[in-house]
Structure 1
């Protein structure tokens, strides 16, 4: 290995965020071991990395122990969109909880740092707005989203218990809505849904009256936050919010996508899903102070790149991309 080069494990490395992280780490000169069971990740996301001599792909389900030799671990393995994590809710909880246990056990054996990709969903449908890391949340433990929300909350608990009990070097990032190239067109997330519906001239489906808010972070900004957190001093364990504090209503986003795509699609409304949060906005004071991090890509800039990605994808696959 070259001086400063690390061998880094990325679980969920063929997913939306994982593939961007793998690319970033390779560009920094590291070796990357990408582990994925391809439940939601795709080989297409990492196709450009396969020929890189510093990139290795291993098909593996993180709910089973993994025995490898690495210097750092980024634990991103878990379906993140409601459509996918509700498809097999028991497996979703297992992925969060058993996946945390297995990656933490590996980090403990190797005595290496490990970062958990947690989520703003740990705040549930928040009463406090915006959401600081000190907020304990408002989570339904028995609803259809609970497999993801509570699975991630339990994973955070495990990370901090390993830190206190075994002195493990941990980092916990709470991810807010993130978008960009390599999102799946069928993942049901608001940005990918709206763009694909607009490009295909279909009705744009807004759940609720469109007044619920989200804060959209472009993927390259988020990955920069991941790496800064991993490389921060040992005592900075997190949890730390990573997201864009610029808040937009879902209705505003739908209109913006229609304008930017030149679509003739019309907006239709559907009932709001159970436990869907009404507001979502990160307080990123800690990220600014402790990591010197804040997003730099505006929603307009990010949407231009994301729309271009989906335009190319739809040209290649046609409407089958949404099947």
Structure 2
């Protein structure tokens, strides 16, 4: 059987590192490309000595010169804390990065998958969100560098598909959590767990009634790989996320229970353009990929709490 040589941009990140693990476990050769702006060598340290794994330190905003059989484009800061730190670079990573990845795929005549996001739906007026919904996004706000950057990247992928017949796959990723999240990334799951384990107040923005849907990382990676291996005419976009919907208050209370924490819950003002609801419609994933998440929130949180407990103990 032919061993694929697969490029994973953003391969040292939370999702990217888990994807590298799975691809190598399946017998593929993997090149992890990362500039380590938010990625971490700790996430891939266990792979550094593996014969099937290579690391290339590189920024996707610059042209890429590699020979590969398949490309997963996961390069981009994905939490508000990180992508708002350098919003111009965030937009460049989404747009210039997409162009460079697509040009590489076009030169090599290989299939390429774009890790898009549920943020393309903005603060949705349709609930749950199907792929046919075009979204409600502020083009000039603090979150726009990420939201609009990812929307433009989707446009580029479909234009390359139509104009150059490039084989593309587009996944819209909803909230994902699990081991290797960064403790300071500002995402709600890592925030709540770190606050609970350290005895700090658990901060909820808004009144706690806004909802999210949380997908465990192993389920998400399975969805990405299934999408990559669909027939050529399955381009997406396809939602990948867990349709189970929870309020922020429910999540906070569950984290307190699982950590046996005495942290109080504090309410703070809701940030600008923060979506009130977020829940994926996943019928397209069920039909085209035979995929649905299998890890319950409680079970995934147990694993994630264990990871953060160990991480904080080391520090």
TM-score category, normalised to shorter length: over 0.9
Which of 160, 174, 182 aligns to 2:158? It is: 160
- 1:115 maps onto 2:113 in alignment: yes
Report deviation, 1:5: 1.4
Q: TM-score, normalised by structure 1?
A: 0.97
* Secondary structure of 1:108's aligned partner: helix
CA distance in 1, matches of 2:57, 2:247: 39
Residue number in structure 2 paired with 1:251 = 249
* 1:169-202: CA deviation from partner (whole Å, max 9, x where unpaired): 0000000000000000000000000000000000
* 1:64-122: CA deviation from partner (whole Å, max 9, x where unpaired): 00100000000000000000000000000000000000000000000000000000000
- 1:262 maps onto 2:260 in alignment: yes
Residue number in structure 1 paired with 2:23 = 25
> In angstroms, what is the RMSD of aligned CA positions?
0.3
Which of 228, 231, 242 aligns to 1:230? It is: 228
Alignment of 1:42-121 (within 5 A): 42-121=40-119
Report deviation, 1:4: 3.3
* 1:257-279: CA deviation from partner (whole Å, max 9, x where unpaired): 00010000000011000000000
Runs of 4+ in 1 over 2 A off after TM superposition: none
Which of 287, 290, 293 aligns to 2:288? It is: 290
CA distance in 2, matches of 1:300, 1:29: 32
CA distance in 1, matches of 2:76, 2:205: 24
Residue number in structure 1 paired with 2:187 = 189
CA distance in 2, matches of 1:116, 1:249: 29
CA distance in 1, matches of 2:3, 2:232: 19
CA distance in 2, matches of 1:168, 1:6: 18
* Secondary structure of 1:211's aligned partner: coil
Structure 1 residue runs of 5 or longer lacking an equivalent are 318-323
Residue number in structure 2 paired with 1:201 = 199
Which of 30, 33, 36 aligns to 2:34? It is: 36
CA distance in 2, matches of 1:105, 1:267: 48
Structure 2 residue runs of 5 or longer lacking an equivalent are none
CA distance in 2, matches of 1:4, 1:45: 28
* 1:12-51: CA deviation from partner (whole Å, max 9, x where unpaired): 0000000000000000000000000000000000000001
Residue number in structure 2 paired with 1:241 = 239
